[in-house]
């Protein structure tokens, strides 16, 4: 355990209309090196904290949710500030609105959440050096191999919601 409890932690957009609070630590933090994340971030990778959507408390203006294409073909929904349009988090087809992929750089203190795992390293930009102390996968991974037990338990708790979402899409 860290000597200082870092959560809840707050973040928001550039114009400060959207402010949010993460009520707990995330399930896992992805550093994604796929070409889609590179394009969407305009940078070398995306840093996404995956967390139950009901643990992201809105403190200001509600973000607007924009349907955006995704690599899977199923699309994603990106929550953006209605004023400055900055992207704060995404919902992907796998868990839909049940899980938010919060952009770590929008936290007031993004240093809180270094990546737990590097994914899609097959398209990693060549100058990026991966740390030796974190797992890395050329594409994706098996959840049971990477997530801590507590996060797997938390996922079990929201699984009925995820399954209901999946059923609603069929």
What is the binding site for Zn ion (CB under 5 A)? Answer: 13, 15, 17, 32, 34, 37, 81, 83-84
Q: How far is the CB of 9 from Zn ion (least distance, A)?
A: 18
Contacts (Cβ under 8 Å, ≥6 apart) of 169? 93, 96
| Cα–Cα distance, 162 to 124 (Å, whole number) | 30
**Pick 60 or 161: Cβ nearer Zn ion:** 60
Nearest to 28 by CA among 132, 126, 114, 156: 114
* Dihedral (CA of 45, 157, 7, 82) sign: positive
Q: How far is the CB of 52 from Zn ion (least distance, A)?
A: 20
Q: How far is the CB of 129 from Zn ion (least distance, A)?
A: 19
**Pick 11 or 96: Cβ nearer Zn ion:** 11
**Pick 16 or 153: Cβ nearer Zn ion:** 16
């Amino acid at each position: 355990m860290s000597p200082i409890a870092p959560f809840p932690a707050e973040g928001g957009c550039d114009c400060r209309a959207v402010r949010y609070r993460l009520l707990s630590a995330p399930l896992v933090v992805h550093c994604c090196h796929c070409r889609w994340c590179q394009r969407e971030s305009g940078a070398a990778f995306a840093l996404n904290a995956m967390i139950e959507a009901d643990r992201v408390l809105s403190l200001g203006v509600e973000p607007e949710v924009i349907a955006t294409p995704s690599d899977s073909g199923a699309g994603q929904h990106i929550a953006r500030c209605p004023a400055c349009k900055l992207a704060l988090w995404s919902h992907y087809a796998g868990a839909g609105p049940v899980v938010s992929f919060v952009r770590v750089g929008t936290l007031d203190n993004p240093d809180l959440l270094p990546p737990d795992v590097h994914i899609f390293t097959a398209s990693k930009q060549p100058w990026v050096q991966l740390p030796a102390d974190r797992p890395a996968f050329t594409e994706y991974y098996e959840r049971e191999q990477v997530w801590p037990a507590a996060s797997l338990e938390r996922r079990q708790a929201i699984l009925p919601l995820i399954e209901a979402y999946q059923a609603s899409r069929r």
